[in-house]
Amino acid sequence: MASLLRHPALRIPKSLFSTAAAAATRTPQPPPLPPPFPAFRAARSAILSERDPEKLTKLFEQCSAFATFRRHRPLYRRSIAKLARAKRLDLVDRLVGNEAQNSVSKTEGFWIRLMMLYSSAGMPEQALGVFNSVCDTKACPLTERSLCAFLTIHLKSKSPESLNLPELLRTASDKINLKPTAQSLNLVLKALVQWRDVDSAVNWVKEMETVWNVKPTIESYTILLRAHLKNGNFSAFDGVVKEIARKSLECNLAAYNLRIMRLCKGKECARAKKLLDEMLAKGIGPSSTSYNAIIDGNCRLGDFESAKKVLDSMPTRPSSHPYFSLIRAMVKEEEFDSALEVCKEIMRRKWIPPFEATQGLVDGLLKMSRREEAKMVVEKMKKRLKGEAVGSWANIEAAIPL
């Protein structure tokens, strides 16, 4: 891996890392052409609408005279993305190289931005080349931000080398003479989980303390909780929760949400509701995920009264998700009166109820000889539909014996 970091192909010319050296060695260039647009807004509009890669690059270079343009990072990202989609990596290299050469302020954040532009374009070698050259030339002081950028580039590249991210971290941290903290160590942890190597992830958390002398954070344990929940390993999940308590760590929103989801999947919705109340008591504002998980869990249990109580307690306007969960579960349990009320509320909020649940509701009303109410649902449904949904519903309606 050390040889990869020293590979000559992964180098950026040293003159780019020193404005003084660049000024002394650079061949005098003719002054840039004046911007083809009078203002930044017009330039931005032209660049975003341009489809030809060559013309886009030329426009980009000419408009770089605008100070506002040079500071507009989203425009850089979108332009680089366009060129990458067109497979014009030579033009990506040209624009990023020009930025490296012409910029006056070359801070750590500046070099990280160039690394991530290359990485987003699918050019990890060039991104790593910037990292290596900044390290070798000592262009600026480096912090853990650069280490995290280095790891992120490898993660995105999905190269064979990236599978050995722990060793990459050791090599890179030595190269910049920096002791990693939980921030970069957690990136390795996330990678191990992404590769579905949960056993190694568990061992890595242990190594954080024993090898790196870094205490795992609540974010570290949250990563493990998410992995165990995804695998359905409730025993390991509960073990991590106990470890969090043993270390006296305070759960964050993500950790609480995962604990709530685990309880609801285990049909322990009452305990999940107590966790929600605990969050509120501690001043941790639950998210829609917190409420939706409990509503979904109660719906699966057929406890619609509890589900509606949680829905009514939501402090902000809920999305359509909990209402859709309710109507689906109510139709499945043949609670057609309650399902009809939820269906009306969905339509009152100008949403479109799920087709399969609506069909089940109409069929249920017809079986109960409530033909007029069934017709009302069908008619309201047709009024709300547009585009291809009209044809899809027409096929369903044709099978309904109205």
- Tell me the per-residue pLDDT of 166-201, one tens digit each, with 9 for 90 and over: 899 999 999 999 999 999 999 999 999 998 999 999
Does residue 62 lie in a domain region?
Answer: no
Query: What does the radius of gyration of the chain's CA atoms come to, in whole angstroms?
Result: 29
Listed residues 249, 265, 291: the one ending a domain: 249
Does residue 64 lie in a domain region?
Answer: no
Structure confidence at residue 400 as a pLDDT band (50, 70, 90): confident
Q: Does one domain contain both 266 and 285?
A: yes
Q: Does one domain contain both 245 and 288?
A: no
User: Widest CA span of the chain, in angstroms?
Assistant: 91
Q: Strand ranges (DSSP E) for 249-350?
A: none
DSSP, res 149:
H
Distance (Å, whole) CA 74 – CA 330: 46
For residue 98, give both structure tokens.
């020009």
Query: What are phi and psi for residue 220, nearest 5 degrees?
Result: -60, -50
Q: Check if the beta carbon of residue 168 is closer than 8 Å to that of residue 1.
A: yes
- pLDDT for 316 equals 92
Does residue 308 lie in a domain region?
Answer: yes
Please classify residue 257 by burial: count the beta carbons closer than 10 Å to its beta carbon, then call 0-12 exposed, 13-18 middle and 19+ buried. buried
In this model, does residue 17 exceed pLDDT 70? no
Q: Give the pLDDT confidence of 231-270 residue by residue, as tens digits.
A: 999 999 999 999 999 999 999 999 999 999 999 999 999 9
Q: Does one domain contain both 215 and 261?
A: no
Q: Does one domain contain both 338 and 400?
A: yes
Q: Does one domain contain both 259 and 243?
A: no
In this model, does residue 28 exceed pLDDT 70? no
How many domains does the structure of the chain reveal?
3
Q: Give the pLDDT confidence of 310-354 residue by residue, as tens digits.
A: 999 999 999 999 999 999 999 999 999 999 999 999 999 999 999
The mean pLDDT of 289-309, rounded to a whole number, is 97
Does residue 155 lie in a domain region?
Answer: no
Q: Does one domain contain both 259 and 298?
A: yes
Distance (Å, whole) CA 247 – CA 258: 18
Structure confidence at residue 23 as a pLDDT band (50, 70, 90): very low
Q: Residue 285's domain spans which residues? A: 250-318
Please work out, in degrees rounded to the nearest 5, the angle formed at the alpha carbon of residue 27 by the alpha carbons of 26 and 31: 105
Does residue 300 lie in a domain region?
Answer: yes
Output the 3-class SS for 35-52. Answer: CCCCCHHHHHHHHHHCCC
In this model, does residue 119 exceed pLDDT 90? yes
Q: Check if the beta carbon of residue 254 is closer than 8 Å to that of residue 223.
A: no
Q: Does one domain contain both 238 and 268?
A: no
| pTM for this entry | 0.83
Q: Check if the beta carbon of residue 92 is closer than 8 Å to that of residue 80.
A: yes
In this model, does residue 14 exceed pLDDT 90? no
